[in-house]
């Protein structure tokens, strides 16, 4: 009998058996030394093809044909990689807005291309991001996926990579410590507090400036009124004294002397009153400025307190991130050891 094994996408033979011999010259070069029959099984009608050193390029539809019987059969060869690695789970970061942890899963050496699934401790599917797939020069696939998980009663999560066509599954479990879920975003309230504190300080500074310039304007106004009053009083006194000199004659010198003394006394009283008013106004303004300064000092103390809280929060966050890195390294070391 003559037996021919061919592949639908090739124009040459994969294997030819005729008159009890292997016709090597009629084989495709890529199959030389890799195809044979089970000689001891031929007498039982077993004409199966044995393919050695299988590569990914060997996949396809193969045909078995017996010329004498004019019978042909087909079989599809699906080639899968046996080098698929178990998934490696790592901590990719922390979602501070949701208070969750970002997990990443990666698995290498797959063919055909697999799917990636995330499950919780009860076996429920988790909503994850799109799977990233990279095909290497060896035609094998590397797949990776990320998921954000929130705190649960057991924090047990599973990354499962599977290829349904070849019924191949790899999976890895991880338990995330509760402490990792305590790192939440607290920078926003502190930032808002600092902004409010700074705004309060600016308002106090502006208020102090307004008070100062208001006091300055009031002082100039009082000074202007005093000068005008002194000039008016002086002119009136001069007119009166001249009239007295004209009417009283020789008594003018005495009247003028008395008038000068009276004017001096009135000037002293006016100046004294102005000094009292000035002193009282200055004292009031100083009291207001002192009050504003005390309020400003209080605000500054509150600002310092907020800054200390922010620094403490930053230290706690750095400590938590350090623990995340430490645990990630431990998980990677454990995965390599497995």
What are the residue boundaries of the structural domains of the chain, listed by start?
2-77, 88-184, 187-324
d(CA 244, CA 255): 7
Q: Specify the pLDDT at position 199.
A: 47
Q: What is the 3-class SS of the chain, one letter each residue?
A: CEEEEEECCCCCEEEEEECCEECHHHECHHHCCCEEECHHHHHHCCCCEEECCCCHHHCEEEEEEECCCCEEEEEEECCCCCCCCCCEEEEEEEECCCCEEEEEEEEEEECCCCEEEEECCCCCECCCCCCEEEECCCCCEEEEEEEEECCCCCCEEEEEEEECCCCEEEEEEEECCHHHHHCCCCHHHHHHHHHHHHHHHHHHHHHHHHHHHHHHHHHHHHHHHHHHHHHHHHHHHHHHHHHHHHHHHHHHHHHHHHHHHHHHHHHHHHHHHHHHHHHHHHHHHHHHHHHHHHHHHHHHHHHHHHHHHHHHHHHHHHHHHHHHHHHHHHHHHHHHHC
Confidence of residue 133 (pLDDT cuts 50, 70, 90): very high
Interval 88-117 mean pLDDT:
90
Which pLDDT does position 298 carry in this prediction? Answer: 82
Neighbours of 280 (CB within 10 A): 10
Q: What superfamily in CATH does domain 2-77 come from? A: Immunoglobulins (2.60.40.10)
**Topology (CATH level 3) of domain 88-184:** Immunoglobulin-like (2.60.40)
Provide the whole-model pTM.
0.46
* CB burial string 41-55: b at 16+ within 10 A, e below: eeeeeebebebeeee
Q: How many CB atoms lie within 10 A of CB 22?
A: 15
pLDDT of residue 211: 55
Rounded CA-CA distance 37/66 in Å is: 14
- Which range scores top for mean pLDDT: 21-30, 170-179, 323-332? 170-179
- Locate 312 and state its tokens: 């403490």
pLDDT of 19 above 60: yes
What's residue 161's pLDDT? 96
Question: Highest-confidence range of 20-29, 37-46, 218-227, by mean pLDDT?
Answer: 37-46
Sign of CA dihedral 12, 13, 19, 25: positive
The yes-or-no verdict on residue 187 having pLDDT over 60 is no
Give per-residue pLDDT as tens, 220-274. Answer: 666 555 555 555 555 454 445 545 544 554 444 444 444 554 454 445 445 555 5
**How would you class 23 by CB atoms within 10 Å of its CB: exposed for 0-12, middle for 13-18, buried for 19 or more?**
middle
Alpha-carbon gap, residue 189 to 38, rounded angstroms: 77
> So what's the pLDDT on residue 201?
47
Task: Give the separation between CA 325 and CA 196, rounded to whole angstroms.
Answer: 35
- At residue 186 the predicted structure's pLDDT band, cuts being 50, 70 and 90, is very low
- Give me the pLDDT at residue 222, please: 62
Split at pLDDT 50, 70, 90, the class of 185 is very low
Q: Do domains 2-77 and 88-184 have the same CATH topology?
A: yes
189 versus 115: which is more confidently predicted?
115
């Amino acid at each position: 009998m003559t037996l021919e094994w061919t592949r639908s996408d090739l124009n040459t033979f994969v294997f030819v058996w005729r008159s009890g011999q292997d016709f090597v010259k009629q084989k495709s070069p890529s199959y030389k030394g890799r195809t044979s029959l089970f000689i001891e099984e031929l007498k039982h009608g077993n004409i199966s093809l044995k393919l050695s050193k299988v590569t990914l390029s060997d996949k396809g539809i193969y045909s078995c044909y017996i010329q004498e019987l004019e019978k042909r059969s087909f079989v599809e060869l699906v080639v899968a990689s046996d080098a698929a690695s178990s998934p490696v789970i790592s901590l990719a970061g922390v979602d501070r807005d949701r208070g969750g942890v970002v997990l990443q899963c990666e698995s290498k050496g797959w063919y055909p291309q697999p799917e990636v699934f995330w499950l919780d401790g009860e076996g429920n599917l988790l909503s994850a991001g799109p799977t990233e797939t990279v095909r290497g020069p060896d035609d094998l696939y590397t797949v990776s996926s990320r998921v954000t998980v929130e705190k649960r009663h057991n924090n047990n999560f599973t990354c499962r990579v599977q290829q349904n066509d070849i019924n191949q599954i790899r999976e890895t479990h991880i338990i995330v410590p509760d402490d990792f879920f305590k790192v939440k975003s607290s920078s926003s309230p502190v930032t808002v507090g600092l902004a409010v504190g700074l705004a309060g300080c600016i308002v106090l500074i502006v208020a102090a400036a307004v008070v100062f310039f208001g006091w300055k304007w009031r002082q100039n106004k009082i000074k202007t009124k005093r000068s005008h009053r002194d000039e008016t009083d002086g002119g009136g006194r001069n007119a009166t004294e001249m009239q007295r000199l004209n009417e009283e004659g020789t008594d003018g010198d005495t009247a003028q002397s008395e008038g000068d003394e009276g004017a001096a006394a009135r000037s002293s009283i006016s100046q004294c009153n102005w000094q009292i008013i000035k002193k009282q106004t200055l004292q009031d303004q100083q009291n207001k400025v002192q009050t504003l300064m005390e309020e400003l000092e209080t605000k500054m103390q509150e600002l310092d307190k907020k800054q200390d809280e922010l620094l403490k929060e930053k230290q706690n966050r750095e400590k938590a991130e350090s623990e995340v890195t430490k645990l990630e390294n431990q998980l990677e070391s454990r995965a390599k050891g497995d």
